[in-house]
Chains A and B, each alone.
Chain A
Amino acid sequence: AQTVTQSQPEMSVQEAETVTLSCTYDTSESDYYLFWYKQPPSRQMILVIRQEAYKQQNATENRFSVNFQKAAKSFSLKISDSQLGDAAMYFCAYTATSSGSARQLTFGSGTQLTVLP
């Protein structure tokens, strides 16, 4: 069974600094997708960034980027120039490509990020 592990229940960062959230996963699949979702205090989960396992280039979305290490099964999220609005719970998630859109994502336990002014 696939598992996703986020070993940092809580993290904090000073405004304008950079922070990295860790995620590791376990799978026997060779082709899959990885995601980072953000859940702010409003509870509305939104997609931050996604990575396709067959792409070697790390995904980036503005201030958000990932460090994808396929051999190590590691998928960390880097937030640059942190802003107060980045404070949220962040979830790492995995799904196998063979699953199709009807299949489930496997989520990690989450990392609560606090941004200090």
Chain B
Amino acid sequence: DVKVTQSSRYLVKRTGEKVFLECVQDMDHENMFWYRQDPGLGLRLIYFSYDVKMKEKGDIPEGYSVSREKKERFSLILESASTNQTSMYLCASRPLGGANEKLFFGSGTQLSVL
């Protein structure tokens, strides 16, 4: 079975902390994504990567950065966590191909910033 694994299911951090959310996929996919899910807002794209060391901003990149040093791993970094970053974070991957390729998702990390 193909898998996208997010390192933590639940995470509680303090305001101002540096937070790392890790995502690993075992499908050799080129494309990886970080989404944020909030009630009533659906999924919003934070950053995505189409190759190692390559990244592009999504719709809401402010306050976030990403790292992709290896093909299978895509990390989301909150440089200085704030309470408005309390949310569900979903990682996804997708193979190289057409726009009809489906996304494979992890199980999400529910982050609370106190």
Contact = CB atoms under 8 A, between A and B. Distances in A.
Interface of A: 4, 6, 9, 32-33, 35, 37, 42-47, 50, 52, 91, 95-105, 107-110
SS class of chain B's interface: helix, strand, loop or mixed? loop
A29 B41 CA distance: 23
Interface core residue of B50, B58, B95 (most chain A CB under 10 Å): B50
Contacts of A97: 98-100
Given A47-B103, A91-B43, A101-B95, 18 more contacts: A37-B103, A44-B106, A45-B103, A46-B105, A47-B102, A50-B100, A97-B98, A97-B99, A97-B100, A99-B99, A100-B99, A101-B31, A101-B98, A101-B99, A102-B30, A102-B48, A104-B48, A109-B40
Interface of B: 30-31, 33, 35, 40-45, 48, 50, 58-59, 88, 90, 92, 94-103, 105-108
Contact of B107 (A42, A95, A105): A42
B100 to A, nearest CB: 5
